[in-house]
Amino acid sequence: MSWRHGVAAGCLLLHPGQGAAEQPDAKPPQWTERAPGVWEATFGAPERLTLLGAAAQPPKADALRSLPAARFPFEPGEAVARPGAHRVALRFPLALDEEIYGLGVDFKSLRRTGSALRLHVDHWGGVPGRTHAPVPLYVSSRGYGVLVDSARYVDFYVGTAVRLEASRKPPVVDRTTGGRAWSAQPRSDSVEALVPAPGVRVLVFGGPTPLDAVRRYNLWSGGGALPPKWGLGFMTRTPTAYSAQEALAEVEEFRSRGIPLDMLGLEPGWHDHAYPCSFEWDRTRFPDPRAFLGALRERHVRANLWFNPYVSPTAPLYAKLLPFAGSHLVWNGIVPDYSLAEARTIFADHLRREVLDLDPAAVGGFKVDEVDGYDRWLWPDLAVFPSGHDAEQLRQSYGLLVQRLIFDMFRRANRRTLGQVRGTNAGASPFPFVIYNDNYAFDEYVTAVANSSFAGVLWSPEVREGDGRDMLRRVQAVCFSPLALFNGWATRTKLWTHAAVVDDIRSAILLRMRLLPYWYTAFARYHFDGVPVVRAMPLVPGFDARVVEAKEQYLVGDSLLVAPIAPGVKTRRVVLPAGKWFDFHSGRLVGEGPTTVDVTPPLAHIPLFVRDGGLVPLVAEREWAPGPDEVLALELRHYGARPGTFELYDDDGETFDYERGEHSWTRLVVDRDMRGSWKGSVTPDPSGKPWRYRNVTWRFMTAP
Amino acid sequence: MSWRHGVAAGCLLLHPGQGAAEQPDAKPPQWTERAPGVWEATFGAPERLTLLGAAAQPPKADALRSLPAARFPFEPGEAVARPGAHRVALRFPLALDEEIYGLGVDFKSLRRTGSALRLHVDHWGGVPGRTHAPVPLYVSSRGYGVLVDSARYVDFYVGTAVRLEASRKPPVVDRTTGGRAWSAQPRSDSVEALVPAPGVRVLVFGGPTPLDAVRRYNLWSGGGALPPKWGLGFMTRTPTAYSAQEALAEVEEFRSRGIPLDMLGLEPGWHDHAYPCSFEWDRTRFPDPRAFLGALRERHVRANLWFNPYVSPTAPLYAKLLPFAGSHLVWNGIVPDYSLAEARTIFADHLRREVLDLDPAAVGGFKVDEVDGYDRWLWPDLAVFPSGHDAEQLRQSYGLLVQRLIFDMFRRANRRTLGQVRGTNAGASPFPFVIYNDNYAFDEYVTAVANSSFAGVLWSPEVREGDGRDMLRRVQAVCFSPLALFNGWATRTKLWTHAAVVDDIRSAILLRMRLLPYWYTAFARYHFDGVPVVRAMPLVPGFDARVVEAKEQYLVGDSLLVAPIAPGVKTRRVVLPAGKWFDFHSGRLVGEGPTTVDVTPPLAHIPLFVRDGGLVPLVAEREWAPGPDEVLALELRHYGARPGTFELYDDDGETFDYERGEHSWTRLVVDRDMRGSWKGSVTPDPSGKPWRYRNVTWRFMTAP
């Protein structure tokens, strides 16, 4: 007997007002292959505003074509949809041994099976699905991904809800006598989703591996972000009410102490009115913004300027944007409807005139705050907007729209940017913005960094304050995150407050600077090939995701396994995927995976491992990123017993000229020569495009 | 300039698919006075299934007519609605000095201004709006109430979202320089609500006081629950796998120790299959259920039987309910669609035959579990049901529907019941069910007890385990809650485990038994007049809700102020409303309000205060509730310096004959005689209906 039996018995009493969403008939979708390994299906009438549409970045078609062939992951009839008048129910198969990742940057776990989530842009407060990046993409351990491209609060049920009609059901066990055989949550055979919209477009990304699926998603979204070289340096943010003079003095402190610095963040006080914002320089604290920016430029530092997008009635910009305002205010400021091109243009033009044009080489980007915020802070879900998109759609896409307008503005100036953003969503892969938040739980932020690899976003923890050892461990961790950042906006603590650890803090940041070619190449791979810069362990070959979650470690680039160690912890466990792994500093063998090892690093070192045959390019210690024409000496470290290859990326580091082919991939190879000794070789880019390094020094870190 | 300016400028780009919900035109509702002080308005096309409709209890029209006249609380145009195709936006005015209560049984606070809530039946997990009783009723300090009668997840924004068009807006302050003048959350002039449905019915309950509004709500819902007398005694719940023999031995333990007991709870193990449930006695543990129930009856104890409503495929009931099952399972059991009368009848008939009919005088009721549960445990929001009502509607009303079918079943047998339930909603006032949950935070459960008075529900904390003093303080608190309960289903702890406190525990429960006439009258007032048994302080005259929240104390009946003291706490603060308050035990003056006092009660006493002129009727200590014909001696305590009156309710305590007039209200008055001495007098019910008390002993507790 089945549920349909009930229907046949005449119990289905559909009410006219309920609409077809209640109808039990599920139709198999029609899938169209939009690019190799990228399939799309449409259910009902999708809304005008989607997430990929809000991001509006063209897919990287060529790169998609170069990926290995993939087969469609579902059998006919396995994926079904039940479109209704106002809601679409989706169902995809889930195998018994299948693990699901993604569905937003969660801070607690990588694994999603067993969870019921409503994806909702929000600060991270522990509610599943509410996060800074609730990207409706899931990635299966079986090597495919599914994106539900809706700017709605989409519900996902990942293996939680067993259907009456399911052919394979979990066993029925009496709880009183069943002991451990009884489960509080029997596992279903499906991932189900509910989209509260009249229609939706779904994309499926093929494998064969989970990493391939992620790559296809990133490339379909436009390829990963490629920051400027200086964006890989160190950022510090000043206290909120700092003046130009105080900000420059802060830069001098870094320089005098030899602590690297590339970016200086100005917090709300650069506006003459903040919360809501004026987007006008405060002339008491910044009497001559152009001179201030020039002084930063001379010191090799870029400014990053904070704002939230809610416009103060006190601002000249207000009258211009008022016709585009939503029905409700945020901190008494209007909420411009940036889904409208005209509103985006007005805002971008203002930022350009008021900030960027003052000194284009000195303005690095913006920090886009409060696009994630509490429901009780932002506009309510019943707000209305001039575009006709509703409050929910704007909430889900607002961070995307602001990133897009800033990215477009910098692109038009042919200057790269690196910014920060607190709320984002699907389609953001190409945006050079790093998510941040107020969480300060060390283990949670490591998990978030790892989880960001399933979402096409970048995430960095922050260092704000703490005792010396606490600060040091946090600095080490942020230096192995996409953005290396100290955020001093609301603290009196400085990086050098604790004298006992200041040398180790400096060393951690200098190591970040030394690894600049490695990081830059990792970002280039993200951009051109869709490979995430940071990869959670389930995206790492040789890691068995069914055995252990390993949510507090990740890979950076192809070779570096990072296991951040929390303040106050002496020993931590590290999961090593298959193969031999070597200590970054000593080159010594640490273990051969699959296995786990317990490591007790000195206070000066973050646990850092290199895979067998791994090549790691480094430059000399330096305090800021190199300029477009600077030529640097390169050191190439080789680890382990296997030969290795590294394709080193380079370009001018500052402009979008790389999009017109102005970049190079240089092949670095280590192999044994005829006598069995290690030998390194350099093969220039076949196009003849230059790289900006001098002769290579080869270091064979593991005994030959 | 205003948002409408933007519209006029041609920026309103309504998409055909978006529907009228996006239209900015708000219409003033048409209010109809359905009963004195009860107004109703309909927006769009309300759905078939509403909360009041699911509860389906007729309003107490006569009682509503006897309430003081009330004026409609809003001016024309102040309350507006924006109905759309699938969503209705509502807006009601909120004054600057107005406080809002209700919107579900929250465990953290009474006050609701400043919060954004999505009301959702769920366990309490700290997410605002997700609670066991997310009743969409709010009560204003200005003396009115608003019910949004929708079985949907309704969003409420209580003073959080300032509108661009608002005529009165908070000041715009620069955060950097504004100091404390800047607010993270500017207060709006509205309560706004979003109902995700094509239409909704809204009810407004007039005052003049907040208590009057609550009374009108309860009476409109059918009047408050009147439990049987034995339901005011003590309940204990046995470990889950107890046999009949063990359960009876547990009763003997109570009797041998002189600890009162009226109700014995059987947990999952009475079923031969639980989670999902069979609703069949387990014949290994309960070989002769009828004999077992008979043995309980002989010991003056009623059985209360646990279930969750999800039917096991192993059960005979399964095949009967399968045609009414929803599309998804819970613990592999079917989810019957109890919005269908036929399904309710099948289930109630089974409970009656399998349980109630075995010994109607021994079966007290049921414990309805898991109708609140985690999203990842219950059916998903995309499930479909044979009635055509959808998963969300069933989720919001499921507890109501099960209470209704049980209540109806007992009513047909002319036997009152008292049950427990984990999920309920608006319209539940007449259902004799007490909410419970797994929270064990003492201060939170006191707040929940208080908050239940804004929701037309009953809530009791539990005692489960703890050290001796912990257990004692918890027992004292539950004895001043609607249901006095020890829940030992999953613990080895017994009430007598800690010998040092067992006498004090017994005393606390005996005091509960002594106060039985007081409690019973309070429930009668709830039933006939809509006055909550437990009242949060904002419902108490003489309490200034603007000054202090006082969320950890409440009034029971008209005269007893209860301030539960947490385990481990020696001294607590108590807020005294206007007038003199006296210690319950000594009759001494404690303070004259409005004021606060710090009290340091002995371990044996819960802080308990009586208002000036308060009369408290007591009976002698006893171990179980009196039967229908039992006649008891009455002690009447008077406190303070003012004369006092108490209308004592009585009836048979077991049947619904009171609905046919078989009840009495006896007037007890204390006043000074001509010589200035206190004198008590008894005026029988004018109808001549009897009461079941012997001569009254008057005790004047405060020195004359």
**pLDDT, tens only, B644-685:** 999 999 999 999 999 999 999 999 999 999 999 999 999 999
For B189, the closest chain A residue by CA position comes to A328
Task: Give the mean pLDDT of A548-557.
Answer: 96
Taking CB atoms and an 8 Å limit, are A157 and B376 in contact across chains?
yes
Taking CB atoms and an 8 Å limit, are A275 and B386 in contact across chains?
no
Phi then psi for B52, rounded to 5 degrees? Answer: -65, -35
Angle between helices B516-529 and B502-514 (to 10 degrees): 50
Taking CB atoms and an 8 Å limit, are B388 and A15 in contact across chains?
yes
Tokens matching residue A312? 């103060």
pLDDT value of residue A18: 33
pLDDT value of residue A28: 72
pLDDT value of residue B23: 44
Measured between beta carbons, the chain B residues lying within 8 angstroms of A387 are 11, 13
Taking CB atoms and an 8 Å limit, are B86 and A86 in contact across chains?
yes
Residue burial B234-251, b: 16+ Cβ < 10 Å; e: rest = bbbbbebbbbbeebbebb
Q: Is A180 exposed, middle or buried (0-12, 13-18, 19+ CB in 10 A)?
A: exposed
pLDDT per residue over A239-295, tens digit each?
A: 999 999 999 999 999 999 999 999 999 999 999 999 999 999 999 999 999 999 999
DSSP code of residue B281: B
State the nearest Cα–Cα gap between B46 and chain A, in angstroms: 9
For B340, the closest chain A residue by CA position comes to A11
State the nearest Cα–Cα gap between A472 and chain B, in angstroms: 30
- Look-up of token digits 């602590």: A259
Q: Is the dihedral of CA A384, A390, A392, A396 positive or negative?
A: negative
- Look-up of token digits 């004259």: B592
Tokens matching residue A108? 């607690």
Residue in A194, A331, A382 nearest the CB of B89: A382
Taking CB atoms and an 8 Å limit, are B174 and A12 in contact across chains?
no
Contact (CB, 8 A) for B41 and B30: yes
Task: Give the mean pLDDT of A436-460.
Answer: 95
Which range has the worst mean pLDDT, A262-276, A534-548, A576-590, B18-32? Answer: B18-32
- Look-up of token digits 């907007």: A385
Please spell the DSSP secondary structure of A206-244, one letter per residue: --SSHHHHHHHHHHHTT------GGGGSEEEE--TT--H
pLDDT per residue over B593-633, tens digit each?
A: 999 999 999 999 999 999 999 999 999 999 999 999 999 99
For residues B108 and B126, what is the distance between their CA atoms, to the nearest angstrom?
A: 8
Q: How long a stretch of residues is chain A?
A: 704
Residue A605 has pLDDT above 50, yes or no: yes
- Give the count of beta carbons closer than 10 Å to the beta carbon of residue B351: 20
Task: Look up the ipTM and state it.
Answer: 0.93
Please give the distance of CA B169 from its chain centroid, rounded to a whole number: 37
Residue B214 has pLDDT above 80, yes or no: yes
* Residue B26 confidence class, pLDDT cut points 50, 70, 90: low
Q: Is A75 exposed, middle or buried (0-12, 13-18, 19+ CB in 10 A)?
A: exposed
Measured between beta carbons, the chain A residues lying within 8 angstroms of B334 are 164
The answer to whether residue B499 neighbours chain A at the CB level (below 8 Å) is no
Task: Give the mean pLDDT of A102-111.
Answer: 96
Residue B14 has pLDDT above 60, yes or no: no
pLDDT per residue over A294-339, tens digit each?
A: 999 999 999 999 999 999 999 999 999 999 999 999 999 999 999 9
* Residue A182 confidence class, pLDDT cut points 50, 70, 90: very high
Residue B16 has pLDDT above 90, yes or no: no
pLDDT per residue over B91-140, tens digit each?
A: 999 999 999 999 999 999 999 999 999 999 999 888 889 999 999 999 99
Those of residues 140-159 in A touching chain B at CB distance below 8 A are 155, 157
pLDDT per residue over B497-554, tens digit each?
A: 999 999 999 999 999 999 999 999 999 999 999 999 999 999 999 999 888 999 999 9
Residue (of B411, B403, B369, B363) closest to B264 by Cα position: B363
Mean pLDDT for chain A overall: 94
Mutation pick from A49, A86, A242 vs chain B, by most beta carbons of B within 10 Å, is: A86
pLDDT value of residue B53: 98
Measured between beta carbons, the chain A residues lying within 8 angstroms of B11 are 323-324, 337, 340, 386-387
pLDDT value of residue A248: 98
Which residue type, as a one-letter code, is found at position A559?
S
Q: Which residues contact A680 (CB under 8 A, 6 or more apart)?
A: A636, A638, A668, A669, A670, A696, A698
| Angle (CA) A75 A91 A158, round 5° | 110
Q: What share of chain A in percent tops pLDDT 90?
A: 91
**Helix and strand counts by DSSP (H, E) for chain B:** 14, 33
Residue in A160, A175, A377 nearest the CB of B274: A175
Residue in A241, A322, A379 nearest the CB of B5: A322
Taking CB atoms and an 8 Å limit, are B240 and A176 in contact across chains?
yes
DSSP-based three-state secondary structure for B694: strand
For residues B134 and B112, what is the distance between their CA atoms, to the nearest angstrom?
A: 13
pLDDT per residue over B461-471, tens digit each?
A: 889 999 999 99
pLDDT per residue over B448-501, tens digit each?
A: 999 999 999 999 988 999 999 999 999 999 999 999 999 999 999 999 999 999
Taking CB atoms and an 8 Å limit, are B161 and A82 in contact across chains?
no
Please give the distance of CA A6 from its chain centroid, rounded to a whole number: 47
pLDDT value of residue A305: 98
Q: Which residues contact B69 (CB under 8 A, 6 or more apart)?
A: B36, B37
Residue in A45, A89, A172 nearest the CB of B17: A45
Tokens matching residue A639? 């680890």
Which residue type, as a one-letter code, is found at position A137?
L
Contact (CB, 8 A) for B156 and B89: no
Q: Is the dihedral of CA B278, A185, A124, A567 positive or negative?
A: positive
Taking CB atoms and an 8 Å limit, are B275 and A240 in contact across chains?
no
Measured between beta carbons, the chain B residues lying within 8 angstroms of A333 are 172
Residue A16 has pLDDT above 60, yes or no: no
Residue B25 has pLDDT above 60, yes or no: no
Which range has the worst mean pLDDT, A300-304, A469-473, A700-704? Answer: A700-704
Taking CB atoms and an 8 Å limit, are B386 and A13 in contact across chains?
yes
The answer to whether residue B380 neighbours chain A at the CB level (below 8 Å) is yes
Taking CB atoms and an 8 Å limit, are B326 and A17 in contact across chains?
no
The answer to whether residue B198 neighbours chain A at the CB level (below 8 Å) is yes
pLDDT value of residue B11: 27
pLDDT per residue over A354-392, tens digit each?
A: 999 999 999 999 999 999 989 999 999 999 999 999 999
The answer to whether residue A266 neighbours chain B at the CB level (below 8 Å) is no
The answer to whether residue A41 neighbours chain B at the CB level (below 8 Å) is no
Taking CB atoms and an 8 Å limit, are B162 and A14 in contact across chains?
no
The shares of helix, strand and coil residues in chain A, as percent rounded to the nearest 5, are: 25, 25, 50
Task: Give the mean pLDDT of B279-291.
Answer: 98
Taking CB atoms and an 8 Å limit, are A376 and B157 in contact across chains?
yes
Strands of B99-229, DSSP E: 100-102, 115-118, 120-121, 130-131, 137-140, 144-148, 155-158, 190-195, 199-205
Measured between beta carbons, the chain B residues lying within 8 angstroms of A374 are 116
